[in-house]
Structure 1
């Protein structure tokens, strides 16, 4: 939304700023991390990683800004490693937790690909 000084009103249709998209995505990822922590015990890393990966993929499928998708995917990976795999936000330690980063990144890439494929065939763009 931008303010037009001549009309003294707001115009819609402008893309969402990257910072807003990252903030919304970050809130979503923190909520999913809390949900994963409540649903699965600390020893069960695969289900926690799958839940974070599904959220990252869904976010990537909904948001067109690739910078926001990359930032939120990185934050989701750091949240998984720091709080769901290790304790107290520790990003160092055993490498087994970082191996799940590929699953989260793959889900985000698939979500981005899905969004791109959906935008190619959308009616009204002349690509049908």
Structure 2
């Protein structure tokens, strides 16, 4: 997060808070997609928020300055939540036929419905079930 803060400070002027928040959010979301420990993700996200508010939005580590910094810090949290969600969805194994044989509940195909060919009348009896 410190490297992301240095990159954001070098790439964007002090008045461009959305750009700086975007760089910090990308770093926090990227970390959350790679690391499985939720405590580490929460700690790094909190560090990223404090670094953004204290050094990128305000100056000299002041965390009680203008409220603009904290409103942009919510984007960092949102990116971390998206990263955790992506990692969880990526770690879910796909359902297989073996799971179905073991009795696991898997989403299957819909039950068959009466299929009516185009141009035929179901009352005439030339349709299939």
Give the TM-score band, short-chain normalised.
0.7 to 0.9
Partner residue in 1 for 2:63: 91
How many angstroms does 1:122 deviate by? 6.7
- How far 1:121 sits from its partner (Å)? 2.7
> Aligned partners of 1:122, 1:50: CA distance in 2, in Å?
33
The runs of at least 4 aligned residues of structure 1 exceeding 6 Å deviation read none
- Secondary structure of 1:121's match? coil
Per the TM alignment, residue 74 of structure 1 is displaced from its structure 2 partner at its CA by 0.3
Counterpart position of 1:24: none
Task: Name the counterpart of 1:120.
Answer: 92
1:70 maps to which residue? 42
After superposition, residues 1-128 of structure 1 pair within 5 angstroms as 29-121=1-93
TM (norm. structure 1) is 0.72
**Gap runs ≥5 in structure 1:** 1-28
Q: How many residues align?
A: 98
Question: TM-score, normalized by length of structure 2?
Answer: 0.72
Q: Which 5+ residue runs of structure 2 have no aligned equivalent?
A: 100-105, 107-129
The separation in 2 between residues aligned to 1:44 and 1:96, in whole angstroms, is 11
Q: Deviations over 1:63-85 (max 9, x none)?
A: 00000000000000000000000
* Structure 2 residue matching 1:58: 3-state secondary structure: helix
Greater fraction strand: 1
Residues 40-91 of structure 1, C-alpha deviations (whole Å, 9 max, x = no match): 0000000000010010000000000000000000000000000000111110
